[in-house]
Amino acid sequence: MTIPDLDARVRMAAFDFLRVETGRAADGVLSHAVLAAGFTLEGQRVPLVSPQGIFKPAILPEVPLSIRTTYVEEGETAPYRDVIGHDGFLRYCYRGTDPRHRDNVGLSLARQRQVPLVYLHGVARGRYVGAWPVFIVGESPADLTFTVNVEDRQLVSLGDINPHDTGAEGRRRYITRQVQQRLHQEGFRQRVLAAYRVHCAVCRIRHAELLEAAHILPDGHPLGEPVVPNGLALCKLHHAAFDADILGIRPDYEIEVRLDVLEEKDGPMLKHGLQGFHRQHLWTPSRPLLKPKPEFLEERYALFRRAS
């Protein structure tokens, strides 16, 4: 088997492995243990991660298989700042400051040869969402960054992708933005649920599959960032009620139910699912840094009061 054949087989096997494992995961999030164990090809184990962000397993001769953005706890500083640029593509940081480091050289080769990679985005400690195939489409030694785009998985057969197809640039930019939005949304959900110890902040139900991360101030608001102090872990019922201004939360964390709903006569779901939480106290994280910001709640509560 020639080296190019081996390289292509490893990457296709990695993509198949990720597709299967992502499908098995209820939320599409992969554990570090699963990625580190990897898969077996030709009798050789092929992991997808290592302690380094740029990773080439031993089976591959030159070009890395994956790049990874590490999860950072709320309030901590990221060792690298991987961001979406104004052009809609991901800027992935060099390893260190030496462009000649073997990991950086490996990604330069990936750009030159247009070899597809896996991108793993940390959404919680030891948990990742994967995007593949991704391509290195540019690099800037002055800024110590690579430019990365995401391809359509429907074109994941290596022979079907033409990375030099300029007519597809708009599609790639769109896909990259969509993938980044999904990664950040899942990251927000994972961080919020972890902060609330997988409890609904209103009813305290503990089934993760029924929980969502609600924004206090919505996307598009100047302060509506996907950070834990702007989030609430809510079950699907209470998330919908919060978004519809049926349920409000005061800056002192007291829950209110809209007056017309509070006075409504209906079955046990309304009584126990909503009305029974009126004037109850919101369940919040123990760490002050992770608690909902009162100023965010105050602005959102004003909207609830106007709806009432």
Give the range of the structural domain holding residue 102, as residue numbers without chain letter. 3-192
3-state secondary structure the chain: CCHHHHHHHHHHHHHHHHHHHHHHCCCCCEEHHHHHHCEEECCEEECCCCCCCEECCCCCCCCCCEEEECCCCCCCCCCCCCEECCCCCEEEECCCCCCCCHHHHHHHHHHHHCCCEEEEEEEECCEEEEEEEEEEEEEECCCCEEEEEECCHHHCCHHHCCCCCHHHHHHHHHHHHHHHHHHHHHHHHHHHHHHCCCCCCCCCCCCHHHEEEEECCCCCCCCCCCCHHHEEEEEHHHHHHHHCCCEEECCCCEEEECHHHHCCCCCHHHHHHCHHHCCCECCCCCCHHHCCCHHHHHHHHHHHHHHC
> What radius of gyration, in Å, describes the C-alpha atoms of the chain?
23
Residue 138 and residue 205 in one domain: no
For the chain, give the longest Cα–Cα distance: 75
pLDDT-derived band at 122 (thresholds 50, 70, 90) equals: confident
Residue 184 and residue 210 in one domain: no
Write down the pLDDT at residue 124: 83
The owner of tokens 């992770």 is 290
Write down the pLDDT at residue 135: 92
Per cent of the chain over pLDDT 90 is 61
Residue 32 and residue 165 in one domain: yes
Among the candidates 192, 222, 245, a domain finishes at: 192
Residue 278 and residue 296 in one domain: yes
Q: What is the pLDDT of residues 254-285, one digit of tens each?
A: 999 999 999 999 889 999 999 999 999 999 99
- Cα dihedral angle (129, 179, 16, 41), rounded to 10 degrees? -60
Residue 14 and residue 153 in one domain: yes
Residue 246 and residue 105 in one domain: no
Residue 41 and residue 163 in one domain: yes
Among the candidates 192, 226, 261, a domain finishes at: 192
Residue 81 and residue 182 in one domain: yes
Residue 25 and residue 173 in one domain: yes
Q: Which of 73, 87, 72, 93 is nearest to 170 (CA)?
A: 87
Mean pLDDT of 25-51: 93
Write down the pLDDT at residue 158: 41
Q: Total domain count for the chain?
A: 2
Phi-psi group of 96: left, alpha or beta (phi > 0 → left; psi -120 to 50 → alpha; rest → beta):
left
Residue 81 and residue 187 in one domain: yes
Between the alpha carbon of residue 184 and those of residues 28, 83, 109, the distances in Å are: 13, 11, 28
Residue 204 and residue 134 in one domain: no
Mean pLDDT of 7-22: 95
Among the candidates 192, 220, 240, a domain finishes at: 192
**Tokens linked to 234:** 């809510």
**Tokens linked to 223:** 């302060």
Q: Does residue 193 have a pLDDT over 70?
A: yes
Residue 113 and residue 249 in one domain: no
Q: What is the pLDDT of residues 133-169, one digit of tens each?
A: 999 989 999 989 999 987 644 433 444 445 555 555 6
